[in-house]
Amino acid sequence: MTTIRWVTPAHVHTYTHTMSENAFEVPLNEVDGHLPDVIAAATERRTIAYLTDQGHRVAAIVPTEEAWYWTPGWQAAEAEADADFREGRTRVFDTMDDMFAEIDVVRGEDMG
C-alpha cells in the first residue's frame, strides 16, 4: 500500500534535499489516466514518486512503510538533529554501554 502525501511549500526543501536514486519525478501532464500505474511503480520499486507541475513538486507518493518519516513531527526532529550536528552539539562515547547509559539518563530527565 502507498500513501499519497500532498506537499506544501514548507515541505518542498525537505523533499528536494533528500532526492536520490530511490525516487522519481512524473510531470502532472503525463499522469492523466496513468496515476494507478505511477502508484504501482512506486509501490513495486519501494520508491517515492514526485508529481511535478512546471518543474515544481506538488505531491509525493510515498510507500506506506516510509510515510512516518515524512510526517511534520519527524521532519522537525530531523531538522533539530541536523542543527545539533552543524553546531557541534554531539557526543562521542568510548563504548556502547556508555552511550546507552547516557540515553537512560536523558530519558529519566525527560520523564522527571
Residue 38 within any structural domain of the chain: yes
Whole-structure pTM value = 0.53
In a domain, 103, yes or no: no
The total number of structural domains in the chain stands at 1
The boundaries of the domain holding residue 62 are 2-70
Cell of 109: 530527565
CATH number of the domain residue 15 falls in: 3.40.1620
- pLDDT range class, residue 64, cuts 50, 70, 90: confident
Q: What is the mean pLDDT of residues 75-80?
A: 94
pLDDT confidence band for 112 (50 / 70 / 90): low
User: Looking at the domain assignment, is residue 112 inside a domain?
Assistant: no
Fill in the amino acid letter for 6: W
Q: Give the pLDDT mean for 69-87.
A: 93
Is 105 inside any structural domain?
no
